[in-house]
Amino acid sequence: MSQGPIQQIAVVGAGPAGGFLARALALAGVEVDLYDPSHPREKPCGGVLSAEALRYVPEAAALPSANRLTDLEVRTPFGHRFQQRQMRPSLAIDRRELDGSLLEGAVRAGVHHRAERVLAVELGGDQPRLRTRQGERTYDLIVGADGVRSLVARAAGLAPQPHQLGHMEGGWGPPLGEPGTLVLHFGALLGYAWVINRAERSSVGMVGRLEDRERIQAAFQVFLESRRLPAASFSPYRWSIPFSNDVFQLDQPRCGPGWLLVGDAAGFCDPLTAQGIHLALASAWAAAAAILSGRPSTYENRWRDLFGANLYFGVRHRDLLGSRPMTERMLRSLERSPGLGHNFFKII
């Protein structure tokens, strides 16, 4: 990767990773084009903004949709319930608001928002280039913040393999409990189901491996019926996430000559909780520091220093923790030990 002043940067994708990175760069005086035609939009998401994520975007606490998550309930596959009052300030939010406010902040900082879909990216040659329906442009650096099906990652030869992906089946409906409560149901196919209650609506979903997609779809229908959610009041979605148990994938580079990947595009999603907003923000923070240092290739060490150890731990233990005997053991321990319960809420 070229080392030295970077004049022109394209960030593809204005989710949390792209919006946060573009704003940080523009505030430091870098010229940034941020490509994303989707706003305003609601991204399929549970909407949990963890305490780790809030450290990067404390202003999110003032979003109109923000509900403080106060109570966690875990339901075990053998019929027990474990309840914990949360000590750390996680929020439930709308992605339309969170991502929209980050984009607005980026534009206020001087980012040029191009509401254009990027159709092709070329990373070989002297200067990386991209194409939209409006034409072709060259840059010093193209950042892929374009989510789990990233075009930039594909151009860099890093498209995820099916076994590195998870499947989410979910949607939004009327509240199913007190605002600020999060209910997790374990025992579902190397994953879990969730119900997150906000004042005006609930977010309900189920996550597991992509290879279990059909079984997840069937199990989710049963789950919805058990919660008595009428289809007419439920807006469903299906989506993929990076959900890997492949350690070798983590060893792959996340940047190279003229390109760099952040957030879901880089495959950064917690393999145990399936949460990715904090890693989108953390990787954007590491990328901004690397680019502003004039040595973008230092991104590789920076993201590994910041959260690499947690990712390696999660990837190595995902299948072990997701297996039914292990899940049952873990949840029985949680029931016995309030201290462990508090730590469990830390990873949610």
| Residues engaged in binding ligand FAD (CB under 6 A) | 12-18, 35-36, 38, 43-48, 117-118, 145-147, 151, 168, 170, 205, 239, 241, 263-265, 269, 275-278, 280
How many whole angstroms from its chain centre is CA 121? 23
Q: Toward ligand FAD, which CB reaches closer, 44 or 296?
A: 44
Q: Toward ligand FAD, which CB reaches closer, 277 or 311?
A: 277
Distance CA 105, CA 34 (A): 12
Q: Toward ligand FAD, which CB reaches closer, 18 or 258?
A: 18
* Nearest-approach distance from CB 332 to ligand FAD, in angstroms: 26
* Nearest-approach distance from CB 184 to ligand FAD, in angstroms: 11
Helix (H) or strand (E) holding 113: strand 112-114
Distance CA 192, CA 237 (A): 17
Distance CA 38, CA 11 (A): 14
Residue nearest to ligand FAD (CB): 276
Q: Toward ligand FAD, which CB reaches closer, 1 or 121?
A: 121
* Nearest-approach distance from CB 59 to ligand FAD, in angstroms: 17
Strand 141-144 with 8-12, pairing = parallel
Residues 290-319 as b/e (b if ≥16 CB within 10 A, e otherwise) read bbbeeebbbbbebbeeebbebbeebbeebe
CA dihedral 223, 228, 232, 233 (to 10 degrees): -100
* Nearest-approach distance from CB 205 to ligand FAD, in angstroms: 5
Q: Toward ligand FAD, which CB reaches closer, 239 or 328?
A: 239
Q: Toward ligand FAD, which CB reaches closer, 246 or 335?
A: 246
Q: Toward ligand FAD, which CB reaches closer, 87 or 119?
A: 119
* Nearest-approach distance from CB 66 to ligand FAD, in angstroms: 13
* Nearest-approach distance from CB 250 to ligand FAD, in angstroms: 16
Longest Cα–Cα distance in the chain: 62
Beta pairing partners, 197: 202
* Those residues with Cβ within 8 angstroms of residue 331's Cβ, 6 or more apart along the chain or in another chain: 74, 76, 77, 80, 82, 186
| Coil, helix or strand at residue 253 | coil
Beta pairing partners, 10: 33, 142
Rounded to the nearest 5 degrees, what angle is found at the Cα of 55, between the Cα atoms of 315 and 271?
10
* Nearest-approach distance from CB 79 to ligand FAD, in angstroms: 26
Q: Toward ligand FAD, which CB reaches closer, 44 or 314?
A: 44
* Nearest-approach distance from CB 145 to ligand FAD, in angstroms: 5
Inter-axis angle of helices 16-27 and 95-108, nearest 10: 20
